[in-house]
Amino acid sequence: MDRFYPWILRALGLIVPGLVIALGWQLYQGSAASRHAFGWGFVVGSSWDPVFNHFGALPFIFGTLVTTAVAIVLAAPLGIGAAIFLAELAPNWLRGPVGYLVELLAAVPSVVYGLWGLFALVPWMRTILEPWLIAHSDNLALFRGAPYGLGFLAAGLVLAIMVIPFVVGLAREAIASVPRVHREAAYALGATKWEAIWQVVLPGARSGIAGGVMLGIGRALGETIAVTMLIGNTPTVSASLLAPGYTLASVIANEFTEATTAIYTSALVEIGLVLFAITLVVNLIARLMVARFAGAGAAA
């Protein structure tokens, strides 16, 4: 056993890169029919018509990017603010429980966020938030149209809640890893607590915080169920956040098991390929940023 077990472990270890390669390969192979039929036009085509077998992914790419943007615009500042509070200000007795509650946000299943969104958030948005936005936004293109409730804004809001724990987690670690002496040096120069945080701590934690935000973006791009329940599932490209839309992940969830023709299935697999490629790039950037911050922390 002593001689064999390293080889067994190495062989098992190979499974992991093998899985990633097999997954990418499977998506590539499975989408062959669609790639040949539509070429690059698939990515920029905006009609999605199963009846005439014409498929373009643009509305879904658009929906994924817009909901992710809404989510991160809300989650990044709130998450970083909460991370500062937890790492720098919260007294010890508060730090543990609040930290646990933030982690709990990540433990709530996607489908439960969807349920809450559908029956609590959306009615509130339809009757209160969206009419208010329409009335007070001075006819801004972002908030034009009828208050449906379901749409980019509802999906983005719930996504924001879902990715916040990822932002807080990494940002908090990055802030805590900034050496104490840096803060003390700032205080010695007469800085207030906030000035020390803003001018010394945050720049020192920058790449870790950015990594956390990127990781949140990666999560938001691939999140499926809650978005599927809240976005309205209509393939549209619209400047208004109040309009219903569709995302890459949710079109797979909704239509894959009902796809009737081979080309339809293949087009949905290509949607999966596009989603895989986007999240892969975003996650790689996130890892690089986190690795840089870990490296910088070790050097300091």
Partner 1 sequence: MNLRLRKNANRLMLTLTGVCTLAVLIPLFLVLYYVVRQGAAGLNWALFTRLPVPPGESGGGMANAIVGTLELLAMAIVLGVPLGLSIGVYTAELGNGRGLDKLAGAVRFSADVLTGIPTIVTGLFVYALVVVPMHRFSGIAGGIALALVMLPVMLRASEEVLRMVPQSYREAAMALGATRWRVLRDIVLRAAKPGLISAALLGVARVAGETAPLLLTALNSSQWTLRPDQPMASLTVGIFNYALAPYDDWHRQAAAAALTLIAMIILLSLVARAWGRIGEVR
Smallest distance from the beta carbon of 300 to partner 1, in angstroms?
Answer: 22
Question: H or E segment at 55?
Answer: strand 54-55
Smallest distance from the beta carbon of 269 to partner 1, in angstroms?
Answer: 6
Written as one string, the DSSP assignment of 264-295 is HHHHHHHHHHHHHHHHHHHHHHHHHHHHHHHH
- β-sheet bridge partners, residue 43: none
Q: Please identify, using beta-carbon distances, which residue of 9 and 146 lies nearer to partner 1.
A: 9
Smallest distance from the beta carbon of 262 to partner 1, in angstroms?
Answer: 12
DSSP for residue 256: G
One-letter amino acid of 106: A
Q: Measured between alpha carbons, how far is 289 from 174 in angstroms, rounded to an integer?
A: 11
Locate all alpha helices (DSSP H) within 85-109, ordered by sequence. Answer: 92-107
Q: Please identify, using beta-carbon distances, which residue of 100 and 132 lies nearer to partner 1.
A: 100
User: What is the phi-psi region of residue 54: left when phi exceeds 0, alpha when psi lies from -120 to 50, beta otherwise?
Assistant: beta
Q: Please identify, using beta-carbon distances, which residue of 215 and 243 lies nearer to partner 1.
A: 215
DSSP for residue 110: H
Smallest distance from the beta carbon of 272 to partner 1, in angstroms?
Answer: 5
Alpha-carbon dihedral sign for residues 23, 28, 31, 33: negative
Smallest distance from the beta carbon of 75 to partner 1, in angstroms?
Answer: 9
Q: Please identify, using beta-carbon distances, which residue of 132 and 194 lies nearer to partner 1.
A: 194
Q: Please identify, using beta-carbon distances, which residue of 229 and 242 lies nearer to partner 1.
A: 229
The answer to whether the beta carbons of residues 223 and 165 sit under 8 Å apart is no
Q: Please identify, using beta-carbon distances, which residue of 170 and 269 lies nearer to partner 1.
A: 269
Provide the token pair at 44.
């920029």
Q: Please identify, using beta-carbon distances, which residue of 16 and 299 lies nearer to partner 1.
A: 16
Smallest distance from the beta carbon of 52 to partner 1, in angstroms?
Answer: 24
Phi, psi of 128 (to 5 degrees): -120, -60
Smallest distance from the beta carbon of 191 to partner 1, in angstroms?
Answer: 9
